[in-house]
Structure formats: C-alpha cells, structure tokens
Amino acid sequence: MATLDGASGTGKNGGAGEENKAPLNRAPEMEELVSSYLTRTNGYERNHCILPQISESHTLHITGAPIRTPLSLNRNDLLTSFPQHTVLSALQCAGNRRHSMRTLMKEVQGLDWRDNAVMNCLWRGPRIRDVIEKAGLIEEILTEGNENADARDEKEKYRGWYVQFECRRVECEKDSWYGAGIPLERVMRKEADCILALEMNNEPLTPAHGYPVRALLPGIAGARSVKWLDRIVVSNKESQNFYQKFDYKVLPPHCHDADMAALYWEKTPPVVDMPINSAIGIPAADSTVTVNEEGFVDVVGYALPAGEDGPVVKVEVSGDEGESWIEATLSYGGHRKKDVSLKWGWCLWYAKVRMEKGTGRRILSRARDRGGNVQKENCEWNLKGVQYNAYGQVRGLEVV
Ligand SMILES: Nc1nc2c(c(=O)[nH]1)N[C@H]1C(S)=C(S)[C@@H](COP(=O)(O)O)O[C@H]1N2
Ligand SMILES: [Mo]
C-alpha cells in the first residue's frame, strides 16, 4: 500500500505509539483495488489528524436547537436501540484522481491521490434519521419564519437546516477538531440511506476507518463521513469547521492561488454529491501489455455513479483514442437488487479491447448511470483538485 507525501505510518492502526505522530494517508495499488468487489482490509485511509485512542466509553451526543431530547449514546445503544440497516456503498475522497488534474491540467493543492482514494464496502448501523427522530425535532423551531412550511413537504420542512457531524476527540492539522455537515433534508430522507456505520463488511469498523462509529453518507464526498463521531448537531448553520469552510469546494477556475481563493471560500458551496466517474486499474500505466492472438487486451476498472443517480448502467472502453468504444461487462460482485440497493456501490467492469502494437498507447473509459449522467472527456480545473472526473485513462502503455 502506498503512503502519501506529508504522511507517515507503518500500517499499524490505532494507538498513540511512535508510528502515530502524523496523519496516516495511504491507498492500495490500483491492481489490488480492482481485484475485489468489496474492499476488505486495504481500503484508502484519509486523516487530517492522528488516529485517536480508541475508548470503550466513546459516546455520541445528539444535540442542537430543534432537538427535543438531547441523547448520549454509546456503541451498544446504537447497536441495540435502533433497527440496523445495511448499505452497499462506495466511499470516495473528493480528491480522488487529483493526480490527473495536477499532471494533465495544472498544479493543484492537496494530497497526490491517484485513482485509488475510493473503496466499496457493506456498511451497517442505524439510520441517522431514526436516531434524530428518537431525540425528536421540535417542528415550531424547524419551521419558524418559513412561510412555505405547512406545504407538508419534507424538503420544505427541513429547508435551511443542516446536520453537523463532529469528532472533537483529536486535534487536526488545520483546526482543533474535525467536522463536516450536509443538509438535514438528505439525512431525513429514508431512501438516501445515511447511516451511523458501526460495521464494515460485517465486522466492527477498524480504528482507521472510524471505530466505534462514523457517519456514512452514500453518494457524498468522503470528507463528510466523519469518523470517530462524537457529536451530531442539528443547526441552521453549516458546520463551521475548517474542512467544511476552507477545503472540499470546487472553487471557480480563475481562482488559481490562495489569495484569490480567500475571496471565494465563503461564496462557494461545499461539495456534497460526487460526480459520475470511472477509472482503469488493469493494465497499469506505463506498463507493457501483451495482446492476445486476436489483438485484444484485458482491461479492468471501476465506475461510480453521480450522487443519488446510481447505479452505473454502462461503461465503454476505447483502445484507439476514442475512435471506437466497446461496452464493458459490469459486476456488482454478485449482490442482488432484492437484497441490497445497488445504487450507491461501485461496479467493477471488464473489457477486451482491440489495440495496435506500439508504444505510448492509451486506454480510455467512460461511464453512464441510471440518472443519465455521462462521464465527459474533460472536466474543469479547480485549485483544490476535487471532483476530477474526466475519462478514465491509463497512459504510456507499450503494446506488444
Ligand atoms: N474525524 C475525522 N473524520 C474524517 C476525516 C478526518 O480526518 N477525521 N477525514 C475525512 C475524509 S477527507 C475522508 S475522504 C474520509 C476517509 O475515510 P477512510 O479513512 O475510512 O477511508 O473520512 C473523512 N472523515
Ligand atoms: Mo477526503
């Protein structure tokens, strides 16, 4: 597993030993990433802080002005007092594929993720809406000053309210705690499947992935899925945390340095939904590939739907600079719609692509989801290098 610049760590999780002095940021090789539909122990890890000491007495507090009865819940309460819900979902850093934006377009700020800052797991825990409903929301506070409120429309009822997720336990690099948030409406909508994940692939979360409890917000940038969650606040303000306000935003393309960005942070909305995307895992960039007798190369990759518009329904692959495209075979790892929603997970895809022998060859991929979003050849540059989703590509292939 590759460790990124500005990061340290030996691969051990948890504890505050010698190896836990700086944030651990790492991700698997692409070939490894696409070798399994469910990401097991090798998923990417992104931390703006050192891993906190894991405590059995960890408590999650539910609070905020419209909350009727503030709650304090430990892992066991979350496990036993609420129905448990399983979600098959990708978790992706907003900076996934940043390396391509940096190298193919222009320098950006942020960790140099390749196409590997993503994983795909079965997550399990109570729905956030069930926990908030247990605490109770005071309607008069929610709808105060909102003239459209009795429209009986849930979206209208929650307009202007946010859920803030916090981890106050450890100091981060750019703030004294980690926090993020999303609109309340999203978590209250049952089919949006926002949960407090206690388990990953039928095991308790590992320390690195947020044990004992993390938010898991399908379709939404990973930065909002706060780990080691210790406070949920329902508020009419966005989270005031640094990582919500001054990071994870698609700044306009003319913002090309920090001074310019300073003028735009407040005006730019935080990233919520991630865009349609695909990437190629096999063959590796700059490798030598052998065509079979019929002139075909085996290609494997992943594809991700946009926000709530999944699942991915089509992936096309080209070995001739986009002249011709062939349709890949999609896999959801044997998971079936009748058991679990397929709309949040990635699909792995497999294709045999005809290629001419030679050097400096490329393979391209593009995905389409159920909502009709189609991956485009190019995307716009932004200073933080977030949400890069131009065609998947591997370059520098020597085809023999
Ligand atoms: N408490 C806390 N939660 C956090 C972070 C963090 O630094 N601290 N990083 C966020 C970011 S930027 C991402 S992409 C995901 C990564 O989750 P993972 O490490 O389980 O892959 O966690 C999010 N939750
Ligand atoms: Mo991230």
pLDDT over threshold 90, residue 8: no
> Do 387 and 363 belong to one domain?
yes
- Average pLDDT on 26-47 reads 95
In this structure, the answer to whether residues 249 and 285 fall within a common structural domain is no
**Cα dist from 182 to 127, 161, 192, 219, whole Å:** 15, 9, 12, 12
Around Cβ 290, how many Cβ atoms within 10 Å?
A: 11
Q: What is the mean pLDDT of the chain?
A: 94
pTM assigned to the model:
0.95
Residue 4 has pLDDT above 80, yes or no: no
Please give the helix or strand (H or E) that residue 13 lies within, else none.
none
CB distance 241 to 223 below 8 Å? no
pLDDT above 80: residue 185: yes
Domain for residue 33, yes or no?
A: no
Span from the CA of 270 to the centroid of ligand 2 (angstroms): 13
Q: Atom 11 in ligand 1: which residue has the minimum CA distance?
A: 223
Task: State which residues have CB under 5 angstroms from ligand 2, the bound ion.
Answer: 46, 93, 222-223
Q: Which residues line ligand 1 (CB under 6 A)?
A: 43-49, 91, 93, 167, 178, 209, 222-223, 225-228
- The neighbouring-strand residues paired with 278 are 303
Distance CA 233, CA 125 (A): 19
Q: In this structure, is residue 27 part of a structural domain?
A: no
- pLDDT for position 277: 98
pLDDT at 151: 58
User: Which range (7-11, 145-149, 221-225, 391-395) has the least confidence?
Assistant: 7-11
Which amino acid residue places its CA nearest to atom 21 of ligand 1?
45
Q: What pLDDT is attached to residue 19?
A: 54
Report how far ligand 2's centroid is from the alpha carbon of 148 (Å): 36
Q: What is the pLDDT of residues 188-229, one digit of tens each?
A: 999 999 999 999 999 999 999 999 999 999 999 999 999 999
Residue 349 has pLDDT above 80, yes or no: yes
Q: Do 94 and 274 meet the contact criterion of CB atoms below 8 Å apart?
A: yes
What separation in Å is there between the alpha carbon of 106 and the centre of ligand 1? Answer: 26
Q: What is the pLDDT of residue 10?
A: 35
Looking at the domain assignment, is residue 48 inside a domain?
no
Q: Which of the listed residues 243, 267, 291 is the one where a domain comes to its end? A: 267
**Are residues 247 and 306 located together in one domain of the fold?**
no
Do 249 and 308 reside in the same domain of the chain?
no
Give the H/E segment covering residue 142: helix 139-143
Atom of ligand 1 nearest to the CA of 243: 12
Instruction: For a ligand 1 pocket test, name from 25, 46, 109 the mutation site with the most ligand atoms within 8 angstroms of its C-beta.
Output: 46
Instruction: Please identify, by atom number, the ligand 1 atom nearest to the C-alpha of residue 92.
Output: 14
Last residue of a domain, one of 234, 267, 300: 267
Q: What whole-number distance in Å separates Cα of residue 397 and Cα of residue 362?
A: 6
Of 4-18, 39-53, 351-365, give the lowest mean pLDDT range.
Answer: 4-18
User: Ligand 1 pocket test: which of 42, 47, 54, 58 has the largest number of ligand atoms within 8 Å of its C-beta?
Assistant: 47
Residue by residue, DSSP assigns 58-120 as -EEEEE-TTBSS-EEEEHHHHHHSS-EEEEEEEEE-TTTTHHHIIIII---SS----S-SEEE
Q: What is the mean pLDDT of residues 144-157?
A: 77
Confidence of residue 3 (pLDDT cuts 50, 70, 90): confident
Residue 227 C-alpha to ligand 1 middle, in angstroms?
6
299 and 212 together in one domain: no
Percent of the chain with pLDDT over 70: 95
67: number of Cβ within 10 Å: 19
Question: Pocket of ligand 1, candidates 49, 116, 225: which has the most ligand atoms within 8 Å of its Cβ, to mutate?
Answer: 225
Q: How far apart are CA 179 and CA 289, in angstroms?
A: 45
| Local structure of residue 25 (DSSP, 8 states) | -
